[in-house]
Structure 1
Amino acid sequence: MTALDAACYVLIITGVLLLLYYGSSVLMPLALAGLLSFVLTPAIRLLKKVGIPKILSVIAVVLIAISAIGGVGFVVGGQLSDLLSELPSYEFNLLKKVSSVRSASVESSALERARVTLEDLQAELSKSEAGKNAPAAAPQTGVGPLKPIPVEIHQPPETVLDKTLSLIHPLISPLATTGLIILFLFFILAQREDLRDRFLRLAGTGDLQRTTVALDDAGDRLSRFFIIQGLLNTAFGIFIGLCLWALGLPNPVLWGVLAGLMRFVPFIGSVISCVFPIILAAAIDPGWSLVIKTAILFLISETVAGQVIEPMLYGRNTGISPVAVVVATLFWTLIWGPVGLILATPLTVCLMVLGRHVEALSFLEILFGDEPALEPHERLYQRVLAGDGVEAIEVAEQSMKEMPLIQYYDDVALKALSMAYEDATSGRLSRDEITEVKDAIEDVVDGLAEHTENAEARQAAEKNSDQDDKDIVVLCLPVRSELDEGPLLMLEQVLDDAGMRTSTLPYNASLRMRALETRRGQAKIVVFGYLGSNKVPAFLGILLRRARAVMPDAIMVAGFWSLTGNSDLAEEWREASGADKVVTKISDAAALCKELLAPTSAVHHGTVEDAAPIHTDIVYENSMRFGEELGS
């Protein structure tokens, strides 16, 4: 990004912020009308199915909605007026409770003495300042002191026109906002299809069918979400109002409406809605029982609504990340005040859904969505790149909630290691960084050992086992880099869990080839691991021939982990290297070893399951022939 591009982005963002702030008188009613349109659209569709023309349906639905909202507003206004008129009568109880709280507080003697000292000092300072600022006595002359002449300013009496203007001036802004909401709502509902077509034209018509289906689906989902949210909050407000009426709290309709509206505000909405009823309960009740009952009512009701009913209706969350909810709430509150506080979550939900279905706005989903910004293998690679094995294990365990261990190794860990290998090949990783990545992967494999199928039995067997290297049946050799050890360590863990004694040689040991001499004739299968994707390394052929000379009866398996899904190229590489078999996944390698070692494993361990099928189409030879050779 150039400096000019950055300056353009800053200007655009600044312009949008200024437009939202200074255009709030128009944009706020437009946003309210847009959100109401999602709620009212299903009712209009229902009337159209009955046979009522579209315009009449829109007019009827808008009038009913405005009448309902106006009726509720009228009742709430009356209750608010009654509350304001009764406030002076609540003052005595409030002062009494404040005094009791003060007397109940325990103050230390040191703090009390400090407070008294400060008060005395302040009193002395006040006296001295009063003495300094006192006017000097008038001189004793024959004439008395001059007396100021009082001056009075009288305003002319207000005319009838001025009185009328002062009366209606506070009503102009609410009436104008209400009129704009009704106008925008009618326009959006009447021209819904035309507005959708224009939005499609702006978004691009390259894939018109897919975009149309996506937007219709997004509109339907938003309508269902807002309707369910509105009904739930309305029911919550009605329940709170009825319970407060049963408890004897004044103005229950006002507090029920406030509770329903504040449920649109995340995190702090329930706290705001319960503060005023609790204060009112303290004001009208000489004791504390009504205060406690009111607090318990809000606590239980909000817990049941938020933790039980909402997850049953539309899942655990709205799809917005908690950070985005907080930032959006602060942003819209600063821009539009209390109305923005209520509209923050609905508006953010709309923006996120648009980002999910419109490619040009996909950045909105990344900013607001609760899905991870990186893919699982990218997240793992980022953690191991930092050399933080503990955090990498935490990331791996989060992903494994949705998949078993071996699938995680295939779908996530191998991709992460392939990314590391590409960076190392291109020179973006130094030798020390490669070692850190390898060590972090080892930590991940060790940390995930408890997720294996027979983890406890395997650990007990390793603790009490007196087996040595002579019992190894599968030998794993990294080919070209330290990173090649990673997939082989994963395979070793899976095979050990299945009861097959496996050993992975370090990269340097395999490079020197001396370790092969110490294991002459031991292993039945030798697996060579390679993460590269450009070409088969010539050194693999040399290493494979050396291993075949040391272990002539062993089956040579080439693991080309970066060629998953490319069976033809994997077969070409197998032929070029001279391997007997080829695999591209940890699961395929484990299944192949289980099948080839099934007869031998039954003799040595006695409790090996039937040979697992090989889930790969690139293992090309008949396994029964190798089984007969191993049996002989």
Structure 2
Amino acid sequence: MAAKSPPTKPPPGERKLPHEGEPVPDSKAESPPVIRRTEVVAIALVGLLIICVITGLYLAKAFFLPVTMAFIVGTMLSPAASLLERFRIPRAVAAVVIVAVGTAAVAFMVGLIASPAVEWSGKLPELGSVLREKLHVFDRPLALWQELQSMLGGPGTLTTFHLPKIDWVQPTLEFLSPTFAEFLLFMATLILFIASWRDLRRALIMNFGEREWRLRTLRILNEIEDHLGGYLLTVTMINVGVGIATGLICAITGMPNPASLGALAAILNFIPIIGPVAMFAVLVVVGLVAFPTISAGLLAPTMFAAMTFLEGHFLTPMIVGRRLALNALAVFIVLAFWTWLWGPMGAFLSSPLLIVALIVKEHLMPPDSPQLPED
């Protein structure tokens, strides 16, 4: 037999090809990370979808804001309608009664605020002169600031204090108050939503074919209804307490119209962060105008700030935080976004919408799914 010839080595730089039937050896070299084109396209499409949705919500605010407001408020009031049904009251009648009572309560609060607000708005020139006299104590710090600006090469003129003209009142009212058509759309949608909520929920659940998804949808809807109803009840009780405490503070310190200021504090406290800050500014202005000295004028705002600090850092987290653990940064970002998108009503809806998003996220991405490792 002829001896087998030894295998020949390939010349340098030439790659040896495997023979037929011989397995290909694994490469030890690490391949660089590759971004797939489909992933880039998917991310880009999702980004475009989000931009389109936000643009549509912004441009069609006159439609989407009343409808969304009616859905959220209707979900909050749905447990009350279910309670009235237990007393053999038809759900349609219960919806009308609940909306009528809620509208009357809001109208009463607005009535307490409207009369003093109109009275004070007619005295803006006088209030401006009073504020200028009270702020003379800051002339020396402002003069030092002017000298510092002149040394640094900045403008040497000092801007004097001027109260905004009456022209700002009408645009502000147009921004804060909805149009008549939006109000009618909200009221009609709210009544119909509360009256037909059971049928809507059943239709939404039965829309899914698989039993697992039906049960998951049922759990999501039940939890949203329970959490939003509890949120409305607890926050309303807290804000009523804040309004009563503010009215007592104003009455004790001698502030004018303590009932109106208390009602304003209760309404503004429904808007997180922005509401208490706006109320503090209102108390500062009213105190500076109503009292002869700055120290007396700042007494009520200081007491209000201490009260809201205790309420925001201890009372509300103790009551609401156990049921709805909301991250402060998430609340602030969501508040800023919805306020920019839909104004004051968007600020009111920011926390309920965040609660709904968290509930949906918990059910669609449960804790037993893969998580990031702990620090």
Specify the alignment match of 1:56 in structure 2: 93
Structure 1 position 94, deviation (Å): 0.9
1:300 to 2:306 alignment? yes
Shift in Å at residue 190 of structure 1? Answer: 0.7
The residue type paired with residue 230 of structure 2 is: R
Letter in 2 for 1:24: K
- Alignment-derived partner of residue 259 in structure 1: 265
- Per the alignment, residue 160 of structure 2 pairs with none
2:51 to 2, 7, 14: 14
Q: CA deviation at 1:201?
A: 4.2
Partner of residue 353, structure 1: 359
| Deviation readout 1:388-433 (Å, 9 max, x if unpaired) | xxxxxxx3xxxxxxxxxxxxxxxxxxxxxxxxxxxxxxxxxxxxxx
Q: Hey, what does 2:180 align to over in structure 1? A: 175
Which of the residues 158, 172, 191 maps onto 2:196?
191
Contact residue 66 and residue 185 of structure 2 kept, 8 A = yes
* Structure 1 residues 73 and 285: CA distance shift in structure 2, 3 A: same
Equivalent residues of 1:237, 1:258 under 8 A apart: yes
SS at match of 1:217: helix
**One-letter amino acid of the counterpart of residue 117, structure 2:** L
Determine if contact 2:265/2:279 at 8 Å carries over to the other structure: yes
Counterparts of 2:228 and 2:99, CA distance in 1: 19
**Counterpart check, 1:379 vs 2:368:** no
Q: Does structure 1 conserve the Cα–Cα contact (< 8 Å) formed by 2:339 and 2:346?
A: yes
1:233 equivalent to 2:270? Answer no
The 5 Å alignment of 1:10-409 reads: 10-103=47-140, 107=144, 111=148, 114=151, 174-202=179-207, 205-207=210-212, 208-315=214-321, 318-357=324-363, 359=364, 362=365, 375=371, 378-380=372-374, 395=375
- Structure 1 window deviating more from structure 2 (72-81 vs 57-66): it is 72-81
How big is each residue's C-alpha offset from its partner over 1:557-616, in whole Å with a ceiling of 9 and x where there is no partner?
A: xxxxxxxxxxxxxxxxxxxxxxxxxxxxxxxxxxxxxxxxxxxxxxxxxxxxxxxxxxxx
SS across alignment from 2:326 = coil
2:244 is paired with a residue whose SS is helix
Unaligned runs of 5+ in 1: 121-168, 366-370, 381-394, 396-632
Map Cα deviations across residues 136-188 of structure 1 (whole Å, 9 max, x no partner): xxxxxxxxxxxxxxxxxxxxxxxxxxxxxxxxx99995322221111111011
Residues in 2 aligned to 1:60 and 1:110: alpha-carbon distance in whole angstroms: 65
5+ unaligned residues in a row in structure 2: which ranges?
1-37, 158-173
Quick check: 1:79–1:253 contact (8 Å CA) kept in 2? Answer: no
Asked if the contact 2:283/2:300 (under 8 Å) is kept, the reply is yes
SS of residue matched to 1:16: helix
Change (3 A) 1:250 1:175: farther
**Whole-angstrom CA distance in 2 between matches of 1:353 and 1:263:** 24
Higher relative CO (CA 8 A, sep ≥ 6), structure 1 or 2?
A: 2
Residue 310 of structure 1: CA displacement?
Answer: 1.7
Cα offset for 1:339?
Answer: 2.0
Q: Structure 1 residues 204 and 286 mapped into 2: Cα distance closer, same or farther (>3 Å)? A: farther
Which amino acid letter does the alignment assign opposite residue 350 of structure 2? A
**Contact 1:83–1:251 at 8 Å: present in 2 too?**
no
Between structure 1 and structure 2, the one with the greater Rg is: 1
- Deviation of 1:17 (Å): 0.9
Rounded Cα–Cα distance in structure 2 between residues aligned with 1:170 and 1:236 = 25
Q: CA deviation at 1:316?
A: 5.7
Post-superposition offset of 1:81: 0.5
- RMSD of Structure 2 on Structure 1 (CA): 3.3
CA contact (8 A) 1:38 1:226 kept: no
Any conservation in 2 of the 1:44–1:54 contact (CA below 8 Å)?
A: yes
Q: Is the 8 A contact 1:282 1:288 kept in 2?
A: yes
Distance 1:341 1:213, change over 3 A: closer
Contact 2:220 2:360 in 1 (8 A): no
Whole-angstrom CA distance in 2 between matches of 1:118 and 1:266: 38
SS at structure 2 position matched to 1:250? coil
Contact 1:261/1:342 (CA < 8 Å) preserved in 2? no
- Seen in structure 2, the aligned counterparts of structure 1 residues 111 and 10 have a Cα distance that, compared at 3 Å, is closer
Preserved contact between residue 93 and residue 286 of structure 1 (Cα < 8 Å): no
User: Partners of 1:110 and 1:103 in 2: how far apart?
Assistant: 11
Does the aligned pair in 2 maintain the 1:233–1:263 contact within 8 Å?
Answer: yes
Between the aligned partners of 1:356 and 1:28, the Cα distance in structure 2 is 26
Assess if the C-alpha contact under 8 Å between 2:76 and 2:225 holds in 1. Answer: no
CA distance, structure 2, for counterparts of residue 348 and residue 280 of structure 1 = 34
Structure 1 position 232, deviation (Å): 0.9
- Output the TM-score relative to the length of structure 1: 0.46
Deviations along 1:480-503, one digit per CA (max 9) or x if unpaired, are xxxxxxxxxxxxxxxxxxxxxxxx
Q: Distance in 2 between matches of 1:56 and 1:111?
A: 69
* Alpha carbons 1:239, 1:256 under 8 Å: kept: yes
Give the superposition deviation at 1:213.
Answer: 3.6
Q: Which amino acid letter does the alignment assign opposite residue 286 of structure 1?
A: P
- Judged with a 3 Å threshold, the aligned counterparts in structure 2 of structure 1 residues 263 and 202 are, in CA distance, closer, same or farther, namely farther
Mapped contact 2:62–2:182 kept (Cα < 8 A): yes
Distance 1:117 1:23, change over 3 A: closer
Question: Residue type of the partner of 1:356?
Answer: E
The percent of aligned pairs where both chains have the same amino acid is 23
- Displacement of 1:286 in angstroms is 1.5
Is the 1:310–1:316 Cα contact (8 Å) retained in structure 2? Answer: no
CA drift of 1:204 comes to 5.7
Hey, what's the Cα distance between the residues in 2 that align with 1:253 and 1:17? 40
Q: Distance in 1 between matches of 2:175 and 2:333?
A: 32
